[in-house]
Amino acid sequence: MTIACYCRVSSRHQKADSQVSEITKWLAAHGYDDGQVEWFVDKVSGKTLRRPEFERLQRDIFAGLVEVVIIWKLDRLSRRLKDGVNILSDWCEKGLRIVVVTQQLDLNGAVGRMIAALLLGLAEIETEYRAERQTAGIAVAKKKGIYTGRKRGTTKAEPNRAKELRAKGLNTAEIAQAMGTTRRTIQRYLKADSPSIDKTKGEGLPWAARQATPKPRRLEE
């Protein structure tokens, strides 16, 4: 292995397909063989460096197995300026070539570290501004009395997916494991669309069940 391709998304429910696609196009355009490439894909927030695939990449770099690191965008390495600069500085000092596909950057040496530090700084500022704008927007909405918060069911797991798996015969525990969430959440998803049952009238029950429900007898006067 001489080329390491690193991709990252923020959660396990997201996909890195677009990153993989762009990097694959770059590799093909520059004539690299698949046999030279090793992929590292994390599904963890960029605010931490404790990521399984990133740690595996670092071990391979330390072992001298990597000459080039290809990433989709600089903020895939880290969302924190200090961490990102330290990573790139360490890699440049080891003589690695770092290619950032979407930003069309080819980094190495002192100049590479300087450019990377600037771009990572801008990315961190934009992240902070985005959080501030969101907080300000929520405050205004609350003041106007129109803030409702997160709608029921708009969580990381999709309620419709839970229903599809239930229709295929999976039980609650199996659905929770497949979707990476809790059984309680799955129960809530499945219960959301279940018809309410009126015990006095039999509403919400299937037609056959309603017909089978005994009717109260009328007492003779």
**pLDDT computed for residue 200 by the predictor:** 42
pTM beyond 0.75: the answer is: no
**pLDDT computed for residue 105 by the predictor:** 81
Nearest-angstrom CA–CA distance, 40 and 200: 59
CATH of domain 150-193: 1.10.10
**pLDDT computed for residue 52 by the predictor:** 94
Give the strand order in the sheet containing 68-71. 37-43, 3-9, 68-71, 97-100, 105-107
pLDDT digits (tens, 9 = 90+) for 107-162: 765 666 666 666 666 666 566 656 667 777 777 767 777 655 655 545 544 778 78
Predicted confidence (pLDDT) at residue 99 exceeds the cutoff of 50: yes
Q: What percent of the chain has pLDDT over 70?
A: 66
Nearest-angstrom CA–CA distance, 62 and 64: 5
Count the alpha carbons within 13 Å of 43 in the hemisphere toward its beta carbon: 8
Q: Show me where the domains of the chain are located.
A: 3-124, 150-193
Task: Rank 29-33, 82-86, 164-168 by mean pLDDT and report only the highest.
Answer: 29-33
More confident residue, 15 or 174: 15
Identify any residues that bridge with 71 across adjacent strands, giving them in sequence order: 6, 100
Contact 190, 163 (CB under 8 A): yes
Find the length of the chain. Answer: 221
**pLDDT computed for residue 33 by the predictor:** 82
Task: Rank 28-37, 53-62, 98-107, 137-146 by mean pLDDT and report only the highest.
Answer: 53-62
Which CATH number fits the domain 3-124, given the four candidates 1.20.1430.10, 2.60.40.60, 3.30.465.10, 3.40.50.1390? 3.40.50.1390
pLDDT digits (tens, 9 = 90+) for 1-30: 689 999 999 888 888 999 999 999 999 998
**pLDDT computed for residue 120 by the predictor:** 61
